[in-house]
Amino acid sequence: MIELAAGLIHHPGYLDAAAQAALAADLARVLAEAPAFLPTMPRTGKPFSVRMTNCGPLGWVSDRAGYRYQPLHPGTGRPWPPIPPAILAAWDALSGYPHPPEACLVNLYAPGTRMGLHQDRDEAEFAAPVLSLSLGATALFRYGGLGRGDPTRSIRLRSGDALVIGGASRLIFHGIDRIVAEAPDLLGGAPPQLPAVPPGGRLNLTLRRVSAPVPA
Please enumerate in sequence order all residues whose Cβ is within 8 A of that of 94, keeping only pairs 6 or more positions apart, or say none.
9, 11, 14, 131, 162, 164
CB hemisphere CA count around 25 (13 angstroms):
10
Relative orientation angle of helices 85-94 and 17-33, to the nearest 10 degrees: 120
Is 92 inside a domain boundary? yes
Residue 214 lies in a domain: no
Single pTM value for the model: 0.92
Q: Assess contact for 107 and 52: CB atoms under 8 A.
A: yes
| 189 found inside a domain | yes
Q: What is the CATH number of the domain that holds 158?
A: 2.60.120.590
- Specify the number of domains making up the chain: 1
Q: Is residue 191 over pLDDT 60?
A: no
Whether 171 is in a domain gets the answer yes
Residue 187: which domain range? 2-208
> Residue 215: inside a domain, yes or no?
no
Q: What are the backbone angles phi and psi of residue 130, rounded to the nearest 5°?
A: -100, 130
Ramachandran angles phi, psi of 108, nearest 5°: -115, 110
Is position 112 within any domain? yes
Q: Is the pLDDT of residue 184 over 50?
A: yes
> Considering the domain boundaries, does residue 213 fall inside one?
no
pLDDT band at 215 (very low <50, low <70, confident <90, very high): confident
Asked if residue 190 has pLDDT above 70, the reply is no
pLDDT band at 183 (very low <50, low <70, confident <90, very high): low
pLDDT (0 to 100) of residue 195: 64
Asked if the structure places residue 216 within a domain, the reply is no
pLDDT digit string (tens) for 160-169? Answer: 999 999 999 9
Q: Is the pLDDT of residue 150 over 50?
A: yes
What is the enclosing helix (H) or strand (E) of 153? Answer: strand 153-157
pLDDT at 189 over 70: no
Cis amide linkage into residue 82, ω under 30° from 0: no
- pLDDT on residue 144: 97
Asked if residue 188 has pLDDT above 70, the reply is no
Residue 196 has pLDDT above 80, yes or no: no
pLDDT per residue over 21-70, tens digit each? 899 989 999 999 999 999 999 989 999 999 999 999 999 999 999 999 99
Cα angle 42, 48, 52; round to 5: 105
